[in-house]
């Protein structure tokens, strides 16, 4: 099922961080879209939870050095 999740990422330090997080949509399977905003320290993902779990996504975010908290 396609679902949407919104996270707060308070360790984005510049807009390049947002672009880096958005880059996960090219790597992770089952992701339809990722929108990251440095201004709002917000990360929005639309994904297929039958392909990718929320935990896997959070692990991928952490592997880039960021910490996402569910809003």
Partner 1 sequence: MDNLWIVFMTGLTAGGLSCLAVQGGLLTSSLAYQVESDLTARGIKPENHANPRFALPIILFLSAKLAAYSLLGALLGALGSVFQLTPLMRAILLFVIGIFMVGNALRMLNIHPVFRYFSFEPPAFLSRYIRRKARNTTGWFTPLFLGTLTIFIPCGITQSMMALAISSGDPVAGAAILFSFTLGASPVFFAVAYFAAQLGSRLERWFIRIVAIVLLVLGILSIDSGLNLAGSPISLSRLARLIAPQSPAAAFNPQPLFPQDPFQPAFPATEDPAPIPTQGVNSLVLAALNNGYSPEELIAPANQAIMLSVITKNTLSCSRAFVIPSLQVEEFLPQTGTVVIQIPPQESGTVIQFTCSMGMYTGEIRFQ
Binding region for partner 1 (CB under 8 A): 13-20, 22-23, 26, 35, 37-39, 41, 65
Looking at the Cβ atoms of 13 and 55, the one nearer to partner 1 is 13
Least separation in angstroms between CB 45 and partner 1: 13
Residue 12's φ and ψ, nearest 5 degrees, are -80, 125
Least separation in angstroms between CB 67 and partner 1: 14
Measured CA to CA in angstroms, residue 25 lies from 12, 32, 36 at distances of 17, 7, 11
Least separation in angstroms between CB 38 and partner 1: 6
Rounded to whole angstroms, the Cα distance separating 57 from 20 reads: 14
């Amino acid at each position: 099922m396609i679902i949407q999740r919104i996270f707060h990422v308070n360790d984005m330090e510049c807009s390049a961080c947002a672009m880096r997080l958005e880059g996960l949509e090219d790597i992770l399977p089952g992701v339809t879209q990722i929108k990251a905003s440095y201004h709002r320290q917000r990360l929005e993902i639309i994904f297929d939870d039958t392909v990718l779990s929320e935990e896997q996504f959070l692990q991928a975010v952490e592997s880039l050095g960021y910490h996402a908290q569910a809003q």
